[in-house]
């Protein structure tokens, strides 16, 4: 595997110099955060970012994310021009040596949690999801206040967007995704840039919005509809693992054998029992024994099926007094990287 680390660009409090000092890290996963969604990422800006990363002794071969405009997900008559822009961005990224683009196809919200600083027993804090809190939110009846999203949309914008999605069910969303991929994948093949869709987080419908990349059935359907190695996934263990219906060890092995896992997000989550049985989980330290997911089993299945792709420790907790961007502080992700590196070494050496 190639171990990477997410970096939010020059304004990220976690510096490239710090990332470079984490053992085993060869590159960062980043994006051009200032370009509005839907516009072309110009080659000059991409090269400037890449050169900054390279100057710190790191690679920039994975982009997370190039966001897909809502008009493409909605399938409106504005989509073709926006897909043309996306294609130009792929071409420019390919010229800069980018090999993988992580993206998602979730309407409106690309991740949802109920808390960003859930306090755990050891004094650290982390992201958490409480179905009881989410069930109490109804964007049609009240102003939706969702951690991490309150600045992204005004009430009017959100209302208008949610209204437009009322006519988009799961089948329609899937068709719109296939339409998009059929246009871009030939360009990806030409430029040798692989697309790696990030699964829906969490993997079920929220606020009446359709979600389709939720598990094995949806991923199989997507691969069958656009049959190219360049149409792959980001295996995000914490996202898919939030649904107990997903057998992550099986999926990791199956999709690695198909050479469709282009990027691994390794993260553990811990389910807790609630009074009324509704779902609660918080993001836990990366090692298997501290969460509910079999991180070792997933890595073993990937290794046994030839995976050598890009990996990053996904969300960490805030520990040691760090007040980092929720999920993206330095310390716990660095511990996660080292754990993943060690497990991988053990698996490889005992093969």
Considering only residues 137 to 166 of the shown chain, the ones binding Mn ion according to CB under 5 A are none
Long-range contacts of 140-148 (CB under 8 A, 24+ apart): 144/207, 146/109, 146/112, 147/113, 147/114, 147/115, 147/116, 148/111, 148/113, 148/116, 148/326
Is 314 a residue of the active site?
Answer: yes
236 near Mn ion, judged by CB under 5 A: yes
Look up residue 138 and give its two tokens: 């109804």
Number of residues that bind Mn ion (CB under 5 A): 3
Q: Does 333 bind Mn ion (CB under 5 A)?
A: no
Binding span for Mn ion by CB under 5 A among 98-106, 229-237, 291-299, 326-334? 229-237
Instruction: Determine the 3-state secondary structure of 243 from DSSP.
Output: coil
236 is catalytic: yes
102 catalytic? Reply is no
CB-based closest residue to Mn ion: 236
Examine the residue annotation and report whether 262 is marked as an active-site residue of this protein. no
Task: Respond yes or no: is residue 286 known to be catalytic.
Answer: no
Catalytic residue (choose from 86, 103, 130, 198):
198
Cβ distance to Mn ion smaller for residue 18 or 65: 65
Quote the tokens at residue 205: 């419908």
Report if residue 265 touches Mn ion, rule: CB under 5 A: yes
Q: Provide the H-helix boundaries in 268-350.
A: 295-304, 331-349
Q: In sequence order, what DSSP letters do the residues of 65-114 get, joined into one string?
A: --PPPHHHHHT-TTHHHHHHHHHHHHHHHHHTT--EEEE---SS-S---S
> CB of residue 154 vs Mn ion: minimum separation in angstroms?
27
By rule CB under 5 A, what string of x and - marks binding of each residue 267-306 to Mn ion? ----------------------------------------
The residue whose two tokens read 């992550």 is 248
- What is the CB-side half-sphere exposure of residue 40 using CA atoms within 13 A? 11
**Active-site residue, from 118, 255, 328, 339:** 328
- For Mn ion, the closer of residues 265 and 333 by Cβ is 265
* DSSP state letters, 38-70: TS---HHHHHHHHHHHHHTT-EEEEEE--PPPH
Residues, the chain: 351
Per the CB < 8 A criterion, the answer to whether 125 and 113 are in contact is: no
Rounded to the nearest whole angstrom, what is the least distance from the CB of residue 104 to Mn ion in the complex? Answer: 9
Task: Provide the mask over 307-326, with x wherever binding to Mn ion is found by CB under 5 A and - wherever it is not.
Answer: -------x------------
| Nearer to Mn ion among residue 283 and residue 314 (C-beta) | 314
262 is an interface residue for Mn ion by CB under 5 A:
no
Alpha helices in 192-327 (DSSP H): 216-225, 237-240, 248-257, 295-304
**Residue 194 is a binding residue for Mn ion (CB under 5 A):** no
**Contacting positions for Mn ion (CB under 5 A):** 236, 265, 314
Q: List the catalytic residues.
A: 198, 236, 265, 314-315, 328
């Amino acid at each position: 595997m190639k171990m990477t680390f997410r970096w939010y660009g020059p304004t990220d409090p976690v510096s490239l110099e710090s990332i470079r000092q984490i053992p085993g890290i060869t590159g960062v996963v980043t994006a051009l955060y200032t370009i509005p969604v839907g516009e072309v990422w110009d080659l000059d800006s991409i090269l400037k970012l890449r050169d900054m990363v390279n100057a710190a002794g790191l690679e920039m071969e994975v982009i997370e994310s190039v966001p897909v405009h809502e008009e493409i997900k909605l399938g409106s008559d504005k989509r073709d021009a926006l897909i043309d822009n996306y294609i130009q961005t792929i071409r420019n990224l390919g010229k800069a040596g980018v090999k993988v683009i992580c993206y998602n196809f979730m309407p409106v919200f690309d991740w949802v949690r109920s808390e960003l600083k859930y306090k755990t027993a050891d004094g650290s804090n982390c992201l958490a999801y409480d179905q009881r809190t989410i069930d109490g939110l109804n964007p049609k009846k009240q102003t939706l206040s969702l951690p991490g999203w309150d600045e992204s949309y005004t009430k009017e914008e959100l209302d208008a967007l949610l209204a437009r999605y009322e006519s988009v069910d799961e089948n329609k969303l899937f068709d719109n995704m296939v339409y998009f991929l059929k246009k871009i994948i030939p360009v990806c093949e030409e430029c040798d840039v692989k697309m790696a869709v990030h699964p829906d987080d969490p993997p079920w419908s929220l606020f009446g919005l359709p979600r389709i990349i939720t598990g094995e059935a949806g991923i199989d359907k997507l691969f069958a509809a656009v049959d190219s190695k360049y149409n792959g996934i980001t295996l995000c263990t914490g996202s898919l693992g939030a649904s107990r219906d997903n057998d992550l060890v099986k999926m990791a092995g199956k999709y690695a054998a198909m050479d469709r896992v282009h990027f691994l997000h390794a993260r553990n989550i811990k389910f807790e029992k609630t009074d009324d049985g509704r779902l609660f989980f918080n993001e836990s330290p990366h090692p298997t024994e501290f969460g509910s997911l079999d991180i070792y089993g997933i890595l073993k299945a990937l290794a046994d099926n030839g995976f050598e792709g890009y990996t990053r420790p996904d969300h960490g907790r805030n520990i040691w007094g760090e007040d980092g961007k929720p999920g993206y502080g330095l310390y716990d992700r660095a511990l996660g990287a080292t754990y993943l590196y060690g497990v991988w070494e053990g698996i490889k050496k005992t093969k």
